[in-house]
């Protein structure tokens, strides 16, 4: 299988759905999936127009609710966003 690219655990139906997208869109979707797998408590949005990468989560490790404050982070790349999320995670309160 030397000519077959790795699927990285991506279901064939998703690979088929992504096949019609341009490479930049596929890259952005891939980066969102990686961020979600690494930081499942965070919601992340890829850049769009002039908007940078953005992620948000509750500012506590408690179960999220409307009364809890949120942490927002922004970055120019998914890698930078991941680093900012990791820094934010290290400062979360436990209650």
Angle at 89 between CA 87 and CA 93, to 5 degrees: 125
Write down the H helix ranges in 8-77.
12-18, 23-38
Q: Tell me the Ramachandran region of residue 53: left when phi exceeds 0, alpha when psi lies from -120 to 50, beta otherwise.
A: beta
The ranges assigned to domains in the chain are 12-90
> What are the pLDDT digits (tens) for 30-40?
899 899 999 99
Residue 5 reports pLDDT greater than 60: no
Other residues' Cβ atoms within 10 Å of the Cβ of residue 76: 10
* pTM reported for the whole predicted model: 0.74
């Amino acid at each position: 299988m030397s000519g077959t690219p790795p699927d990285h655990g991506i279901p064939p139906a998703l690979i088929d759905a992504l096949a019609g997208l341009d490479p930049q869109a596929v890259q952005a979707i891939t980066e969102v999936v990686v961020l979600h797998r690494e930081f499942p408590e965070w919601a992340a949005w890829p850049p769009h127009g002039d908007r940078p990468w953005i992620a948000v989560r509750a500012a506590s490790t408690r179960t999220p609710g409307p009364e809890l404050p949120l942490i927002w982070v922004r970055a120019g790349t998914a890698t930078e966003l991941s680093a900012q999320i990791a820094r934010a995670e290290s400062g979360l309160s436990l209650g």
